[in-house]
Amino acid sequence: MPSNTMWWGSLRLLLLLAAAVAAAAEPASTLTGPSRPVTVALRKDRGHAVDLPDTDPRVQRRATGWAPEQITVALSAAPTSAWVSWITGEFQMGGTVKPLNPGTVASVVRYGLAADSLVHEATGDALVYSQLYPFEGLQNYTSGIIHHVRLQGLEPATKYYYQCGDPGIPGAMSAVHAFRTMPAVGPRSYPGRIAVVGDLGLTYNTTSTVDHMVSNRPDLVLLVGDVCYANMYLTNGTGADCYSCAFGKSTPIHETYQPRWDYWGRYMEAVTSGTPMMVVEGNHEIEEQIGNKTFAAYRSRRSGEQYRWLVKDLAKVDRAVTPW
C-alpha cells in the first residue's frame, strides 16, 4: 500500500498537470499579448449558410404579455455608464398595421451590486418604428415597443445585476441579468478580451460561431456589420441566397422582411443581456426607402472629407493609454 507521502506527491502532480491544462486552454488576452495568431482551416462540410426558419424555437417569441425580450447591453460614453435596451409587445405584419403606443409601458431598469439588492432605478425612453411599402401586395411591418435606458454613476470594471421592464404591470419585469462595466481608461486597464465578428447573420452556422464566441468569455463583442440580412428577403418571408436573385431591375422597391431583426434579437439575447455588444452598420443594413434616398452617410464613407476626419481623429489617440 503506498505511503501517505507518495499519495500526497501523486495528488500534487495531478493538480499541477490539471492547472497546466487549464492554463493552456485559457484564451489569450490583450494583457498577455501580443500572441501568435491562430488560423482555422475552412470547413467545407459546413456547406452553405442556411437561415434558421421562423419555426425554430430559438427565434420564436417566448415572452408573454408586456414582458421584456431581446434584452441588450451596450457601452455608453464612459465606463461609468451603460445602455440597457429591450422590446415589449409583438411586431405586426400585414397590409394594414397599427403601431403600438410607446406610452403603454414604462421604461425602467432596477440595478445593483447583488441580484437580491437592486437598490438603484433608472428610466428612459420608448419608441416604435414601421417599415411601410406603398405598393399593392407588399406586407408592411411595425415593431414592438423599443425601450432604451441609460445607467449612470456606475463603477468601472464592476459587475452589476439588473432587471428591466415596467414594475407597475404584473409580469412586465424581466428576470435578473448581470453585466460587467468596462475598466477605467489606463495603459493596462482596457478589456482583456474582445470578440470581433462580422457577417453574423442568423443561420445554422451562426449558432456555431456564437457558441465558439461565448466559450471564449469575451468582455465585449464588436459586430462589424451585416447583422441579420433582413434585406435578403421579400416581405412575404421568402429568402434568397443572393441579393440579385431576388431583386431585378423591374422591382419597384427593394423589399425586406423585418421580423428577421426580431428573430435575431431573440436568438442573441442569451449573449447580449450579459455581454456589452457594439454594432457597426454594414451594407446589409441599408434598407432602401421610397426613392432610395436614405443612408447617405454610409454611401459617402469613402469620401475624402470622411477619410480626413478619420485620420485626424485617430491622431488624437494617446498610444500610452491605448496601444492597440
| Residue 175 grid coordinates | 428576470
Mean pLDDT, rounded, for 38-54 = 80
d(CA 138, CA 149): 34
Selection from 134, 130, 139, 74 nearest residue 102 by Cα: 130
Q: Tell me: pLDDT of 175 over 80.
A: yes
pLDDT of the residue at 34? 64
- Sequence-separated (6 or more) residues with CB below 8 Å from residue 245: none
User: How far is C-alpha 71 from the chain's CA centre?
Assistant: 9
> For the chain, what is the domain count?
1
Q: Is residue 12 part of a domain?
A: no
d(CA 304, CA 240): 35
**The residue to which cell 459586430 is assigned:** 223
pLDDT in tens, 140-167: 999 999 999 999 999 999 999 999 999 9
Q: Tell me: pLDDT of 2 over 60.
A: no
Q: Is residue 90 part of a domain?
A: yes
Domain at 258, CATH number: 2.60.40.10
pLDDT in tens, 189-243: 766 789 999 999 999 999 999 999 999 999 999 999 899 999 889 899 988 766 5
Q: Is residue 77 part of a domain?
A: yes
Confidence of residue 248 (pLDDT cuts 50, 70, 90): low
Q: Is residue 64 part of a domain?
A: yes
Mean pLDDT, rounded, for 275-304 = 68
Q: 277 vs 298, which has greater pLDDT?
A: 277
pLDDT of the residue at 153? 98
pLDDT in tens, 81-100: 999 999 999 999 999 999 99
pLDDT of the residue at 61? 98
Q: 25 vs 165, which has greater pLDDT?
A: 165
pLDDT of the residue at 295? 47
Q: Is residue 15 part of a domain?
A: no
Q: How far is CA 261 from CA 137, 145, 227, 279, in A?
A: 22, 14, 8, 13
Domain that holds residue 105: 44-315
pLDDT of the residue at 28? 60
Selection from 44, 59, 79, 40 nearest residue 212 by Cα: 40
Q: Is residue 74 part of a domain?
A: yes
pLDDT of the residue at 300? 52
Query: Integer distance in angstroms from the first to the last C-alpha of the chain?
Result: 57
Q: Is residue 22 part of a domain?
A: no
Q: Is residue 261 part of a domain?
A: yes
